[in-house]
Amino acid sequence: MTQAYTPSITAAFDSGNIVTHHMGPSPDGGWRAELSIRKDKDSDFFQWFHFRVAAQPGTDLELVITGLRDSAYPEGWPGYRACVSEDRDFWGRADTSYDAAAGALTIRHQMGAGVAWFAYFAPYSMERHHDLVAEMASRPGVRHQELGLSLDGQPIDCLTMGEGPVQVWFYARQHPGESMAEWWMEGALEKLTDPADPHARLLRSKCTLHIVPNMNPDGSLRGHLRTNAAGVNLNREWHDPTPERSPEVLCVRNAMDATGVHWAMDVHGDEAIPHVFIAGFEGIPSWSDEQGVRYNRYRDLLAARTPDFQTAKGYPKAAAGRANLSMSTNQLAERFGPSHGCVSMTLEMPFKDNDDLPCPDQAWSPERSKLLAHDCVAVLAEMIAG
């Protein structure tokens, strides 16, 4: 006979984040835990969670995450369902409810095996990041460069391919908790390095592509939502990055200055809006209609190509001359617009689901993130070819 044991909860691993306040039997015969999310170091941001539960198969869990009225994006919790996996490969969604008055998220799950992982979104670990870099750097035509080091001494990896004059930059995970961004990067790199893919072949012939899969490895490893090891939001550093606060941005921006930028995409996730959308650079001082035409055409072509993308929902546009130049998309369009006609954009994917095309089992997922990347790359090829 298998001996029963007390369930345990831990987050002492790559990208782990949870604090256990109480755990014990529940009146219905299961187990209930009261939890909270640890803030980013030297910051008030918190929303990302990732933890492991070990318990007897068949155990009914009730996991209550409290204190969420003070989280970074309280509007992200209504309608949200937590990610769960028992093999760390397939990530489904758990039965989840949110009590706005109490600021408490309740996750319910019956254990199928002896261990399960729960996360705000399917994690993309630093180990998987290194595996991705190693695999892609070994593919024909791919060149690897370490652009610099993070505050914790982790490398900022860049993978470059193609020999054409059009300079394209893809970069992701300025906000480390937005792990769907690196799943997108994995999909983009798989497509771009496929020797049989016609869109990739066209882009590699006409462009030089620079891909930075993870700009914030420290926050990723530490289990942060939004900041680096110094509690700095990297996407507010692009006007004046420094070695002391934001060496991650400084080394990437310096590399961009060396190559110039014609096209750039900053890949993110949005906590509240249940749609995929793109934000542009309206409001930069040097805005040109030619930049705007190409930006709008990219959005329209992507919307026509995939039902997972739309243009009706998204962020408000900045007024003329009022763009925040500390954000990368605005900084790059302003910095390289006059010299390169730069079109830069921020791609946002949901933590929840795409409400235009919902998936009951997984909601938005790693698989959909990777497929969206394929479509984004194909549309860029169409733009370049045109």
pLDDT in tens, 344-383: 999 999 999 999 999 999 999 999 999 999 999 999 999 9
All CATH 3.40.630.10 domain ranges in the chain, comma separated: 126-385
Written out in words, the top-level CATH class of the domain with range 8-119 is mainly beta
Candidates 34, 186, 348, 382; catalytic one:
348
* Predicted pLDDT of residue 4: 64
Joined together, the tokens standing for residue 218 give 């420290």
Q: What is the pLDDT of residues 59-104, one digit of tens each?
A: 999 999 999 999 999 999 999 999 999 999 999 999 999 999 999 9
* Predicted pLDDT of residue 179: 98
* Percentage of the residues of the chain whose pLDDT score is greater than 70: 99
Q: What is the mean pLDDT of residues 5-24?
A: 96
For the chain, state the CA radius of gyration. 21
The pLDDT of residue 213 is above 70: yes
The pLDDT of residue 221 is above 60: yes
Band (1; pLDDT cuts 50, 70, 90): very low
Q: What is the mean pLDDT of residues 164-175?
A: 98
Q: Is 348 a catalytic residue?
A: yes
* Predicted pLDDT of residue 255: 98
All CATH 2.60.40.3120 domain ranges in the chain, comma separated: 8-119
Q: Note if the pTM is more than 0.85.
A: yes
Written out in words, the top-level CATH class of the domain with range 126-385 is alpha beta
Q: What is the mean pLDDT of residues 319-340?
A: 97
Band (311; pLDDT cuts 50, 70, 90): very high
* Predicted pLDDT of residue 29: 87
